[in-house]
Amino acid sequence: MSTTKKATSALISVFHKDGLEPLVKKFNELGITIYSTGGTEKFIKELGIPVIPVEDVTSYPSILGGRVKTLHPKVFGGILNRQDNENDQAQLAEFEIPQLDIVIVDLYPFEKTVASGASEQDIIEKIDIGGISLIRAAAKNFKDVLCVSSMEDYSEVLDIITASNGTTTLEDRKRFAAKSFNVSSHYDTAIFNYFNAEKEETVLKISETQGKALRYGENPHQKGFFFGDFDAMFNKLHGKELSYNNLLDVDAAINLMNEFKNDEPTFAILKHNNACGLASRSTLHQAYVDALAGDPVSAFGGVLISNKEIDKATAEEIHKLFCEVVIAPSYTDEALEIVKGKKNRIILIQNDVALPDTLVRTCLNGVLVQEKDHKTDTIEDLTNATETKPTASEIEDLIFASKLCKHTKSNTIVLAKGKQLCASGTGQTSRVDALNQAIHKAKSFNFDLDGAVMASDAFFPFPDCVEIAGTNGITSVIQPGGSIKDQLSVDYCNEHKISMVMTGTRHFKH
């Protein structure tokens, strides 16, 4: 049996008419009989092209306000019959069922309706029944039927039937079947997640229809992919394609800077998902200079991010550094020309797009899912644990350090002074190691820790950390508290006039 099929008929029933006209005209030119319904039928008629209403085939009108139009054996028989099966063909003749070789159907815009904040009744009405059934039927019978389930595919279908005079190959039909089942499965996932918003069913369903292959994963011998709408999140103005590791660092940068979104000019430099520089200042230029001072060595090849428009003065400083990515809400024309001076440097404008509320990662032979840590420590969350109270400037630094601590790998200790990162101890197996690492780094870059503050992502099980901090000039500490030995740390701070506040919230980041 030949695997090529010359189409003689098509069923077209779509919500979106964009791009449909050239395809319909080509069908007419090729002598392909067109069947249609409702608004699509009207659209085709207005083009002056012959079209047969589905009601003429089924002898049954559209009922229930359009909820039932195509759900009929004469429609589905025309799609699901096997053209190499004698019994199927005999039944088509017996019941006067037309053969349908091409099915062009899309679905009601369920996700857009949900996103618009529409009422539940409007949302429910956008759950497609006939369309999804037609797609499944046509895709199932790809041996004989071409299923087109998205207006994004119209131009490709037009090219195929134009080049082949209305003929399709089995490979074409199977490929479009895969596209169609992608559409149907994504649609059903969106509907399920709407109904399961409260997670009453402990089930994970994720569907991302936009994706791209990356050059490789974390290392050149690993394949890597990104699934998501990167173009909605950013306007990429310049530079090479982002790598897997770039994307991880960009994600870390975005989540960190969201903590400072409405603050004074703030600049961060990240390397391997952790900030190696962060500062808030009255000008962005000074914020960048002081962020870079936090660790100018690690900044090499890093990801830079700002919460304000990058100006010429800041761009001139940035251009002195080899960096992979620069992210900002905007750039002045002069600044943009300067930072574009390196051909591979990736320049991104961050758009105001909501990030997911859940975090997903593979684990063992399954998947771990958790709510995002939306809690940001504020002044109202602070409880004074010591007799010595932090000064107003120390409180500012404590909140600054806490925000950064939340976005740094555990175990972590952050040292800050004057809303500038002095150093972090990141990803250590003990909190003492994290603190010693931070102190060593701060001193190696000539930071004076007298009057600095310390933030910890979890409680101190022993007083050793506050003892080390105190002997190195730290005057104020922020931590969640909760250890059965909290009082030992509090006692040391009281004895040495160190202020300590507790937040009651742990911010582990594993």
Place of tokens 């490979």: 171
Task: Tell me: pLDDT of 95 over 80.
Answer: yes
Q: Are strands 302-306 and 266-271 parallel, antiparallel or unpaired?
A: antiparallel
Whole-number pLDDT of residue 426: 95
pLDDT tens profile 332-345: 999 999 999 999 99
pLDDT of residue 67: 74
What does the pLDDT read at residue 2? Answer: 58
> Nearest CA to 137 among 13, 29, 238?
13
- Residue 14: DSSP 8-state: -
Angle (CA) 196 63 69, round 5°: 75
Q: Sign of dihedral through CA atoms 229, 235, 238, 243?
A: negative
- pLDDT bin (cut points 50, 70, 90) of residue 494 is very high
Once rounded to an integer, what is the mean pLDDT over residues 320-329? 96
Residue 65, pLDDT > 80, answer no
440 is catalytic: no
The reported pLDDT for the residue numbered 73 is 86
Question: Catalytic one among 6, 17, 140, 179?
Answer: 140
Mean pLDDT of 447-473: 96
The mean pLDDT value for 59-85 works out to: 83
Closest alpha carbon to 321 in 337, 308, 307, 339: 339
Does the structure show a pLDDT above 70 at 1?
A: no
Bigger pLDDT: 95 vs 297: 297
pLDDT in tens, 199-250: 888 998 999 988 999 999 999 999 999 999 999 999 999 999 999 999 999 9
The alpha carbons of the chain give a radius of gyration, in whole angstroms, of 31
Whole-number pLDDT of residue 57: 86
* Residue pair 186/194 in contact by the 8 Å Cβ criterion: no
Q: Look at residues 252, 236, 248, 239 and name the one whose alpha carbon lies nearest to residue 350.
A: 236
**Two structure tokens written together for 128:** 């497609």
Report whether pLDDT(52) > 90: yes
- 86 is written with which tokens? 């004698």
pLDDT, average across residues 461-469: 95
Arithmetic mean of pLDDT, 477-504: 96
pLDDT for 300 equals 95
202 Cβ neighbours under 8 A, 6+ residues apart: none
Distance of CA 19 to the CA centre of its chain: 28
Residue 70 has pLDDT above 80, yes or no: no
H helices of 68-129, where? 73-80, 86-94, 110-115, 120-125
Q: What are the two backbone dihedrals, phi and then psi, of residue 251, each rounded to the nearest 5 degrees? A: -60, -45
Identify the band that residue 71 occupies on the pLDDT scale cut at 50, 70 and 90: confident
The per-residue pLDDT for 38 is 85
Question: Please, which pLDDT band fits residue 276 given cuts at 50, 70 and 90?
Answer: very high
Measured between alpha carbons, how far is 435 from 470 in angstroms, rounded to an integer?
12
Q: What is the pLDDT of residue 400?
A: 98
Query: Pairing mode, if any, of strands 102-105 and 9-13?
Result: parallel
Mean pLDDT (the chain) is: 94
- Rounded distance between C-alpha atoms, residue 23 and residue 211, angstroms: 27
The percentage of residues in the chain with a pLDDT greater than 70, rounded to a whole number, is: 100
> Which one-letter DSSP state was computed for residue 420?
B
Quick one: tokens of 111? 């996700």
Q: How far apart are CA 104 and CA 20, in angstroms?
A: 10
- Rounded to whole angstroms, how far apart are CA atoms 74 and 55? 10
482 in the Ramachandran plot: left (φ > 0), alpha (ψ -120 to 50) or beta?
left
Q: Write down the catalytic residue from 26, 126, 236, 272.
A: 272
Is 417 among the catalytic positions?
no
The two structure tokens encoding residue 450: 């007298």
